[in-house]
Amino acid sequence: RKEVEQDPGPFNVPEGATVAFNCTYSNSASQSFFWYRQDCRKEPKLLMSVYSSGNEDGRFTAQLNRASQYISLLIRDSKLSDSATYLCVVILSGSARQLTFGSGTQLTVLP
């Protein structure tokens, strides 16, 4: 079993739609969680950190469920510019800030 698993995708949604991605992690000692965005042939860029209480940044909402060991990302009112691959990232406690990446979920927002 992979340490971090994501929805396989791809997700193709129309502009304005709401789309949600889930990500599960296997190590209950995991400490920190992030969503990164990666455009084609570009570097990953931090989208948002995921806090225990959940957090929102504009159209993006991230949630953490420690009991079920998953995090989620909700994108409201999708824009064409949201088309990218979204990477779920987990830091294990005591791992000297090493990130474990999910394989990513590809999102295409259609006009």
Partner 1 sequence: DAGITQSPRHKVTETGTPVTLRCHQTENHRYMYWYRQDPGHGLRLIHYSYGVKDTDKGEVSDGYSVSRSKTEDFLLTLESATSSQTSVYFCAISSSPVRTSGIYEQYFGPGTRLTVT
Q: H or E stretch including 6?
A: strand 4-6
The SS3 of residue 37 is: strand
Q: According to the binding rule CB under 8 A, does residue 87 interact with partner 1?
A: yes
Reference 18, options 57, 51, 60; nearest CA is 60
Instruction: Name which position in 13, 74, 91, 92 contacts partner 1 (CB under 8 A).
Output: 91
Instruction: Name which position in 49, 65, 66, 79 contacts partner 1 (CB under 8 A).
Output: 49
Contacting partner 1 within 27-46 (CB under 8 A): 31-32, 34, 42-46
Contact, 107 vs 86, CB < 8 A? yes
Q: According to the binding rule CB under 8 A, does residue 101 interact with partner 1?
A: yes
Reference 6, options 110, 106, 108, 109; nearest CA is 106
Q: According to the binding rule CB under 8 A, does residue 98 interact with partner 1?
A: yes
**Which positions lie near partner 1, rule CB under 8 A?**
31-32, 34, 42-46, 49, 51, 87, 91, 96-99, 101-104
